[in-house]
């Protein structure tokens, strides 16, 4: 992998953010709106005085982590779609750029997005709802890393599908994540799900992050097994999806569809 | 540009592109049917043929954007697919049908591609080429605001950022008015003369092809119909100019379709 090529693609996307209100809205507006909405819901639930349940801490943590997952998924899908919308694939892939470099640049963009959104949401949550994201201490690092990897994996999966079936499938870039939300135990523990859905839930790396988050809030620590399982499932899915993406890319080249993605 | 001793073998060979028995089928449709040709170093070779002859598919296979069904493609004496990075870093492509991102400034587009090609002095290189193509004043402008002629020059600037030894041009003047088209042709001749670039060129403008190309490969139904210098082909078919040669070949196809 050549860093200058990864750097070129990252800078290209940063150029777009400089002057694009829709892109800035996508980065800040929706996460902030969600934070404000869920913040006030949490304050209301807290006023109901449900014993032993700190709504602000649980729900604020959940919404911030969910948004970080969403940002890393969108970084991959939107970076890919930008080139589809601008019909720029030919220009990009007649350079010596490797697919792995293209993917690495989208992952780096995902990292930028989650750091920026994480800081903005963290600061807002502190000032508006007195929720300190640093309550998670060093656990923040593996939490964010797992969400970044899983978001990238989901982004790659939706991108591979769009690559294969064209832009008629682009709705997946915006909606696919919501398909897994009910099973990721974002706002409630896995135990509330019916048994069969619990099995589905435990197949998702995100579930272990959200379960771990609640464990840290409740006990100040978390089981190492949850982190291990999160990393393990993440690595398995990442390997499968990267293979799937390369397979789809080869298929598209074989069918001559790389330049007809519209 | 520097090469290590292992890369020197292709420099001793005069053919920059060698294509052997290249085939491409899309399902039951045969787009390219056993093409074999070579492109000599320093030449401008025209790849001509009627619509659907297989020119674009051939160009796309030469850029490793489409995987051939069978056959061999060697560029700079290297297997294109196996040594993709080596080959693509030494060639470039331009087509009016492939736009640069409209939501970036002209400068930002050029800087992005310069970085992708690993150009050391990005600013210096862009300014040098912008002077060559007289587009300095366009650099701060959004690409979406440029005229067709300005976009063509911007595309050509992009295609020279890596000092390519081989340039693939797909109908570079197709959407230009005669004045700008004439200027573009003169620019291409200047590039070839001053920078020693080998050019593979597709066009439907036969007067332009006659003016610029050293050699022509006519393809029809994915096969080579004829090849030679423009003068040789005009003489062989007993016509006045290359346009009539083109019409003869294209109409042979229509007649053979009607007969079958």
Number of domains in chain A: 1
Residue A77 lies in a domain: yes
Contact A7 B115 (CB under 8 A): yes
The segments of chain B whose pLDDT lies below 50 read 1-8, 10-12
Residue A121 lies in a domain: yes
> Which one of A15, A82, A91 has the shortest CB-CB distance to B100?
A91
Contact A11 B57 (CB under 8 A): no
DSSP state of B239: -
Give the pLDDT of residue B260.
56
pLDDT in tens, A209-258: 999 999 998 888 888 899 999 999 999 999 999 999 999 999 999 998 88
Element (H, E) at B107: helix B106-116
pLDDT in tens, B168-210: 998 888 877 788 788 888 888 888 888 889 999 998 888 889 8
A vs B, Cβ pairs < 8 A, gives: 90
Give the pLDDT of residue B13.
62
The full DSSP string for chain A is --HHHHHHHHHHHHHHHHH-HHHHIIIIIHHHHHHHHHHHHHHHHHHTT-TT--HHHHHHHHHHHHHHHHHHHHHHHHHHHHHHHTT-HHHHHTSS--HHHHHHHHHHHHHHHHHHHHHHHHHHHHHHH---GGGGGGGHHHHHHHHHHHHHHHHHHHHHHHHHH-GGGTHHHHHHHHHHGGGTTSSS-GGGS-HHHHHHHHT-HHHHHHHHHHHHHHHS---HHHHHHHHHHHHHHHHHHHHHHHHHHHHHHHHT-TT---
Give the pLDDT of residue A236.
97
User: Is A259 touching B (CB cutoff 8 A)?
Assistant: yes
Strands (E), chain B: 15-26, 29-40, 44-48, 70-75, 78-79, 91-94, 166-170, 198-202, 215-220, 223-228
pTM for the full model? 0.87
Residue A74 lies in a domain: yes
CATH of domain B5-90+166-187+199-259: 3.40.50.300
pLDDT in tens, A48-88: 887 777 888 889 999 999 999 999 999 899 888 888 888 88
Residue A135 lies in a domain: yes
The span from the CA of A73 to the CA of A80, in Å, is: 11
Q: Which residue of A has its CA nearest to B103?
A: A16
Residue A262 lies in a domain: no
Domain ranges for chain B, please list them: 5-90+166-187+199-259, 98-163
Give the pLDDT of residue B259.
58
Give the pLDDT of residue A159.
92
DSSP state of B100: P
User: Is A104 touching B (CB cutoff 8 A)?
Assistant: no
Domain containing residue A127? 3-255
User: Is A92 touching B (CB cutoff 8 A)?
Assistant: yes
């Amino acid at each position: 992998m050549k860093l200058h090529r990864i750097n070129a693609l990252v800078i290209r996307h940063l150029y777009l953010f400089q002057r694009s209100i829709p892109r800035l809205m996508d980065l800040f507006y929706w996460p902030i709106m969600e934070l404000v909405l869920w913040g006030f819901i949490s304050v209301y639930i807290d006023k109901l005085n449900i014993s032993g349940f700190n709504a602000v801490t649980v729900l604020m943590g959940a919404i911030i982590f969910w948004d970080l997952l969403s940002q890393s998924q969108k970084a991959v899908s939107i970076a890919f779609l930008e080139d589809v919308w601008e019909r720029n694939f030919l220009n990009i892939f007649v350079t010596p750029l490797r697919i792995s470099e293209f993917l690495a640049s989208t992952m780096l963009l995902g990292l930028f997005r989650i750091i920026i959104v994480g800081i903005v949401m963290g600061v807002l949550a502190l000032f508006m709802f007195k929720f300190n994201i640093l309550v998670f201490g060093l656990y923040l690092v593996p939490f964010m890393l797992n969400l970044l990897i899983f978001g990238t994996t989901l982004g790659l999966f939706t991108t591979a599908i769009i690559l294969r079936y064209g832009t008629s499938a682009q709705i997946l870039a915006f909606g696919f994540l919501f398909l897994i939300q009910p099973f990721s135990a974002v706002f409630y523990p896995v135990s509330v799900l019916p048994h069969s859905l619990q099995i589905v839930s435990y197949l998702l790396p995100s579930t272990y992050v959200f379960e771990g988050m609640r464990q840290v809030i409740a006990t100040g620590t978390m089981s190492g097994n949850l982190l291990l399982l999160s990393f393990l499932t993440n690595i398995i899915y990442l390997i499968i999806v990267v293979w799937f993406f390369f397979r789809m890319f080869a298929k598209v080249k074989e069918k001559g569809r790389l330049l007809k993605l519209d | 540009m520097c090469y290590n001793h292992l890369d020197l073998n292709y420099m001793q060979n005069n053919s920059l592109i060698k294509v052997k028995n290249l085939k491409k089928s899309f399902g039951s449709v045969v787009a390219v049917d056993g093409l074999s040709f070579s492109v000599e170093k320093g030449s401008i070779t025209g790849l001509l043929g009627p619509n659907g002859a297989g020119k674009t598919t051939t160009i796309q296979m030469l850029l490793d954007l489409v995987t051939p069904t069978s056959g061999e493609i060697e560029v700079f004496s290297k297997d294109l697919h196996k040594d993709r990075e080596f080959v693509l870093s030494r060639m470039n492509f331009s087509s009016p049908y492939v736009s640069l991102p409209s939501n970036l400034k002209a400068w930002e587009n050029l800087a992005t591609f310069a970085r992708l090609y690993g150009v050391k002095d990005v600013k210096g290189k862009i300014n040098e080429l912008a002077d060559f193509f007289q587009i300095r004043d366009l650099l701060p402008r959004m690409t979406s605001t440029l005229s067709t002629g300005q976009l063509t020059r911007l595309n050509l600037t992009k295609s020279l950022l890596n000092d390519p030894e081989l340039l693939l041009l797909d109908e570079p003047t197709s959407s230009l008015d005669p004045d700008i088209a004439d200027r573009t042709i003169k620019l291409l001749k200047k590039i070839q003369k001053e920078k020693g670039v080998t050019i593979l060129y597709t066009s439907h403008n036969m007067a332009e092809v006659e003016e610029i190309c050293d050699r022509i490969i006519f393809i029809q139904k994915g096969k080579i119909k004829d090849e030679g210098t423009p003068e040789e082909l005009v003489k062989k078919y007993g016509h006045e100019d290359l346009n009539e040669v083109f019409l003869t070949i294209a109409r042979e196809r229509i007649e053979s379709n009607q007969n079958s």
